[in-house]
């Protein structure tokens, strides 16, 4: 399956990956969430080539995740901001942050690279996976997944096509 065919699946995970399943794109999102607005800042902090960055930014604009605004006429300069659609990637970034802090070999004694405070309550915040129904910590081992009819047929068809 090529990523251009992703419209053929009803799986929301695969469809998200078609948009954001590229590490460079996620690094640009990190910069935007950190408050960066300008091409040069994205480039310096991600280490991307101009060409790669321009391509990814354009794609993010086309996908409605980033909005571009001209802030200077001479010279012509643009700034970039996350749209609501882009801001909704926040949990994705927090998931990566949590996993990286726990598992990527960062020393436990080191102070965290990123501390997030909830301005409304003034305390440290972030992602913690609780069941929205009962409030308990949600362990994936306690989760039962049911597939919708369409996704189920899609998966069955793939098995059939493969002769299994």
Which parts of 129-158 interact with a copy of itself (CB under 8 A)? Answer: 129-134, 136, 138, 140-151, 155, 158
Using CB under 8 A, which of 15, 69, 77, 81 touches a copy of itself?
15
Using CB under 8 A, which of 4, 14, 39, 57 touches a copy of itself?
14
Compute CA distances 156 → 28, 98, 147, 150, 162, whole Å.
37, 35, 11, 10, 10
CB 28 within 8 A of CB 57: yes
Residue 130 DSSP label: B
Interacting residues with a copy of itself between 88 and 117 (CB under 8 A): 88-106, 110-117
Distance in Å, CB of 76 to a copy of itself, minimum: 19
CB 32 within 8 A of CB 80: yes
Quick one: which of 59, 22, 53 has its CA closest to 40? Answer: 53
Distance in Å, CB of 61 to a copy of itself, minimum: 15
Interacting residues with a copy of itself between 22 and 81 (CB under 8 A): 22-23, 26-27, 30, 33-35, 40, 43-47
């Amino acid at each position: 399956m090529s990523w251009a065919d992703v419209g053929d699946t009803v799986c929301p995970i695969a469809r998200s990956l078609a948009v954001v399943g590229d590490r460079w794109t996620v690094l640009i999102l990190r910069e935007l969430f950190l408050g960066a607005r300008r091409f040069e800042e994205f480039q310096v902090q991600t280490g991307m080539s101009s060409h790669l960055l321009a391509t990814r930014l354009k794609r993010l604009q086309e996908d409605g995740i980033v909005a571009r605004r001209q802030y200077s006429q001479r010279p012509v300069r643009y700034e970039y901001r996350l749209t609501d659609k882009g801001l909704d990637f926040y949990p994705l970034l927090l998931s990566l942050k949590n996993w990286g802090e726990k598992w990527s070999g960062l020393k436990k004694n080191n102070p965290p690279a990123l501390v997030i405070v909830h301005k409304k309550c003034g305390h440290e915040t972030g992602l913690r996976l609780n069941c929205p129904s009962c409030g308990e910590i949600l362990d994936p081992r306690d989760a039962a997944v049911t597939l919708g009819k369409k996704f189920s047929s899609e998966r069955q068809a793939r098995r059939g096509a493969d002769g299994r």
